[in-house]
Amino acid sequence: MTHPLFDLSGKTALITGSGQGIGLSLAIGLASAGARIVLNGRSADRLIGAQATLLDTGAAVDLLPFDVTDHQAARTAVDGYETSHRPIDILVNNAGIQRRAPLEDFDPDDFEALLQTNIASVFHVGQACARHMIGRGAGRIINIASIQTALARPTIAPYTMTKGAVANLTKGMATDWGPKGLRVNAIAPGYFDTPMNAALVADPEFTGWIARRTPAGRWGQLPELQGAAIFLASDAASYVNGQVLFVDGGMSACL
């Protein structure tokens, strides 16, 4: 039985970029606490497998495909769902991409793609959902930041920039929307074993660096992010607003 403070029964959670990886894992976690899940990605076809995974757990699942980098598409999709289905109580802004190159050689098109997917989408979908949440005087938004919110590594300077922006946008959202009943926080994952990190996980040298650099001594596993999401989405975090919760095995705590 879910503790009452962490019970999300009767709530609906939209998770962007939830076809795989962190987004799908967070969807599974929120569903386990009782939330109805709305899966998002650019293509409905790519969400079918994720939907099947959730349905196998007994979760209630809807699909809401749209491009998070398109402001009007996000607003149209959210407005349509709110009108024809039910209120979105929880938003997880998870959609994101990574591009790697030495900064002096970084492709401007990749830079723009990072801006649009990692930062602009948080604004687009956040605003679309917040307009409805404000009218109800309640809502929870969780933005997915990164260990790179606080720390940098070679070849990913633009990505690091975007995740720093997500942290500050989270604070701005909490400042503007907190008085209107919304709670907006962020989760900053460390190095997790995800499809996006598959090449790094397969690299013995990099995995050895993770083991030495992280107090936990290993890569994070996706289910280890679920508790943070449930906490921030639930009444257990009723007085938590504008915060960035690092889930990184201790990496950001030490030199």
What pLDDT, on the 0 to 100 scale, is given for residue 203? 96
Residue 196 has a pLDDT of 87
CATH code of 4-248, in short, is 3.40.50.720
For residues 13 and 38, the answer to whether their CB atoms sit within 8 Å is: yes
Q: What is the residue whose two structure tokens read 């009782």?
A: 34
Q: What does the mean pLDDT of the chain come to?
A: 97
Q: Are 65 and 42 in contact (CB under 8 A)?
A: yes
Domain ranges of the chain: 4-248
Q: Measure the CA–CA gap between 112 and 123, rounded to whole angstroms.
A: 15
Is pLDDT above 80 for 2? no
pLDDT 10s digits, 13-28: 999 999 999 999 999 9
Q: What is the pLDDT of residues 213-237, one digit of tens each?
A: 999 999 999 999 999 999 999 999 9
pTM of the model as a whole:
0.97
For residue 186, give the amino acid letter: A
Active site residues: 159
Tens of pLDDT, residue by residue over 68-95, are 999 999 999 999 999 999 999 999 999 9
What pLDDT, on a 0 to 100 scale, did the predictor assign at position 102? 98
Pairwise CA distance, residues 33 & 42, whole Å: 26
Please give the full DSSP string across 97-151, using - where no structure is assigned: ------GGG--HHHHHHHIIIIIIHHHHHHHHHHHHHHHHT-EEEEEE--GGGT-
Those residues with Cβ within 8 angstroms of residue 134's Cβ, 6 or more apart along the chain or in another chain: 177, 180, 181, 182
Residue 46: per-residue pLDDT: 87
Give the model confidence (pLDDT) of 190-211 as tens digits.
Answer: 999 998 899 999 999 999 999 9
Coil, strand or helix: which one is 224? helix
Taking only the tens place, the pLDDT of each residue in 29-69 is 999 999 999 999 998 988 999 999 999 999 999 999 999 99
CA distance 162 to 120: 9
How does residue 249 score in pLDDT terms, banded at 50, 70 and 90?
very high
Across the beta sheet with 12-15, the strand order is: 61-63, 36-39, 12-15, 90-93, 139-144, 182-189, 244-247
Cα distances from 233 to residues 16, 38, 130, 226, in angstroms, run: 15, 15, 15, 11
